Amino acid sequence: MKRRGQYSSSSRRERQVRDQVSGAKAGRLNLTLKSTMESVAEVEAAAEKLAAEAGLNEDERFHLSMAAREAAVNAVLHGNEYDPAKQVLASFENTGAALVIRVADQGKGFDPASLPDPLAAENLLRGSGRGIFLIRSFVDELYIRQLHPGTELTLIKHLAPESISTPGTAALL
Amino acid sequence: MALTIASREVDGVVILDLSGRITLGEGSVQLREAIRGLIGKGEKKILLNMGNVDYIDSSGLGELVSAFTSAKNQQAEVKLLKLTRKVHDLLQLTKLYTVFDIKDDEAAAIASF
């Protein structure tokens, strides 16, 4: 008969091995996606799920999933330019204190300082250029890192103490 | 949900009843073609009923702006009717609320052209 302690120990060891193999931390979902609009929808849906499982309210869920969507659009459209040879890497993690979403492309990169201010009067009637602004507006922190080649956006949404939940792999995978 | 567009005319104003999402790949192209078609036919008064548009992304916002400027270049006018709260908030955030003529009441919107 298998004792409870033995079972737990075995399960923990199995998870450690699995994490070493996959390189994934517990509670983190990693996606490798094509440079297509379907991938944008997939990133948006994963962000919505992450936010819902963390107990965010409807507005916060909308904001986070939209920010993730805009990041994915940037990666597919401006970064990889729909190139089928290039991939979009996305990860979604509840650290317990924050929701962290990373979206990386394999494009030629860009200088965030060169982006025009979409709120400036001379730019209000531009048909594009609002994506990064919307992301900044909807998350607590945004980091833009050049990968040479590619760009990685890290979106961080802090969790209020009352909405902090225990991160779990099962809930995300 | 993808974007659906129904067209009707009231007192010389073409009203497009939009329903769904205006996003890259899901509705922005449809909206662009619909507006272009109307302007191409010489329509000067276009009212976009946004009452059932529950989601718009940066591409959709760009499409609304393009519709506004394309119309203006042809001496036509595009106005917005009945924004949902999410779309209203986005237009405020991006200051596009100051660009568009936005109405809550259809009769008042028609009379304003």
**Beta strands B102-103 and B77-81: pairing type?**
parallel
Q: Tell me if A114 is assigned to some domain.
A: yes
- The DSSP letter of residue B8 is E
Q: Tell me if A25 is assigned to some domain.
A: yes
Chain segment B31-53, per-residue pLDDT in tens: 999 999 999 999 999 999 999 99
Q: Tell me if A170 is assigned to some domain.
A: no
Least CB–CB distance from A70: residue in B58, B66, B96: B58
Q: Tell me if A5 is assigned to some domain.
A: no
Q: Tell me if A139 is assigned to some domain.
A: yes
The pLDDT > 90 percentage for chain A reads 74
CATH code of the domain containing A136? 3.30.565.10
Least CB–CB distance from B65: residue in A40, A66, A127: A127
Chain segment B52-71, per-residue pLDDT in tens: 999 999 999 999 999 999 99
Residues 71-130 of A with CB under 8 A from B: 73, 77, 118-119, 124-128, 130
Chain segment A114-140, per-residue pLDDT in tens: 999 999 999 999 999 999 999 999 999
Number of domains in chain A: 1
Q: Among candidates A96, B98, A22, which has minimal Cα distance to A31?
A: A22
pLDDT of residue A19 exceeding 90: no
ipTM over 0.95: no
Q: Among candidates A134, A64, A148, A141, which has minimal Cα distance to A105?
A: A148
Least CB–CB distance from B94: residue in A66, A73, A118: A118
Q: Tell me if A3 is assigned to some domain.
A: no
Find the domain containing A28 and state its range. Answer: 12-163
Q: Tell me if A6 is assigned to some domain.
A: no
| B107 or A26, higher pLDDT | B107
Q: Tell me if A57 is assigned to some domain.
A: yes
What's the pLDDT at B26? Answer: 78
pLDDT of residue A8 exceeding 80: no
